[in-house]
Amino acid sequence: MTRHTASTITDDALDALYTRLDAYDHHAARECTAPGRSPEPGPGERPTCGICPRVLRADERHRYACRPCERRITEHLAQLPALVQDLHRLLIPGAQTNVRGYRARPGSEAAAPINLHVLDVITSATATLDSWLRDWHERLSWDAPAYHADPLTEAAAALRVNVPWAVEGHPAVNEFAAEINDLHRTATGLLDPAQRARRIGHCPVTVLDEHGGRHTCGATLRYVPGATTVICSWCQTTWDALDLSADLCGAA
């Protein structure tokens, strides 16, 4: 893992980074749209993860997804129930919460007695996890899931336990990962808008596969205001925020 010296990014530098990164996106964006397991590689090519462009290692080639993506899915599933529970405190427009330091956006007088967007996120979280769990049960020829008290928490736990099967046996695991990531990001952003990660471009690092082949990582990079570093979620390269600003703006 590459790591650069940390320092605090200034507001001026951050503003300059945001205004120039659109050009970089058009210049260097690397799209990843493979539905599930990548097509059979051609001569000299190596199979890649269906979620990110990471080249699969020799002991991962029977899988739809690499192990870092599997860990990220598992972590998000573990965190989702508590995040969604905290969202209940934001159902009343203008409400604030101090749970684990999260802070809601100060609200103005609302037309509705309940925050419909927050309610939609809460209900869609349960519906999404329940839908995927039912799909997995059908594929495994299991009985339909039965919940005892809290469908969201129980579905998240059941999915988390079976993620190792999904990354090896479910051809749509990339869609599942994308939906879980969206739920996690939306809930986190609602609970603390000030800490909502901002998209700042794509990872420019050249990575090597196990046979020496080179390709650009291309992962979407996100910066959390106030952070001193930016970490690529795919190749795990860590930058000082100012260094990354200079690198990306120079590529624009």
The whole-chain average pLDDT of the chain stands at: 75
Does residue 123 carry a pLDDT above 80?
yes
Average pLDDT of the residues in 141-154: 95
Q: Does 69 or 110 have the greater pLDDT score?
A: 69
Per the domain annotation, does 193 fall within a domain? yes
Q: Backbone dihedral region of 126: left (phi > 0), alpha (psi from -120 to 50 degrees) or beta?
A: alpha
pLDDT band with cut points at 50, 70 and 90 for residue 110? very low
Residue-level pLDDT at 98: 44
Average pLDDT value for residue range 6-21: 44
Domain for residue 1, yes or no? no
* Residue 181 domain flag: yes
- The string of pLDDT tens digits covering residues 181-230 is 889 988 988 887 766 667 778 888 887 765 667 778 877 887 766 566 78
124 falls within a domain? yes
Domain-embedded: residue 65: yes
- Measured between its terminal Cα atoms, the distance across the chain in Å is 25
The whole-angstrom separation of Cα 133 and Cα 118 is 23
Per residue in 24-68, pLDDT (tens digit) is 333 333 333 333 444 455 544 568 888 887 888 888 989 999 998
What's the number of domains the chain is made of?
1
Residue 2 domain-assigned (yes or no): no
pLDDT the model gives residue 58? 87
Give the residue numbers spanning the domain of 175.
11-38+45-251
Rounded percentage of the chain residues whose pLDDT exceeds 90:
35
Percent of the chain with pLDDT over 70: 64
Query: Which of these, 14, 27, 70, lies nearest to 202 by C-alpha position?
Result: 27
- The confidence band for 4, taking pLDDT boundaries of 50, 70 and 90, is very low
Residue 199 to residue 76: CA distance in whole angstroms: 19
Note every long-range contact of 213-222, with CB atoms under 8 Å and residues 24 or more positions apart, other chains counting.
213/44, 213/45, 213/46, 213/55, 215/53, 215/55, 216/28, 216/30, 217/30, 217/53, 218/28, 218/29, 218/30, 218/31, 218/32, 218/53, 219/52, 219/53, 222/197, 222/198
Query: d(Cα 78, Cα 129) in Å, to the nearest integer?
Result: 12
> Is residue 4, in this structure, part of any structural domain at all?
no
The alpha carbon dihedral of 133, 139, 144, 148 has a sign of: negative
In a domain, 227, yes or no: yes
Asked whether the whole model's pTM tops 0.95, one would answer: no
Number of Cβ within 10 Å of residue 151's Cβ equals 16
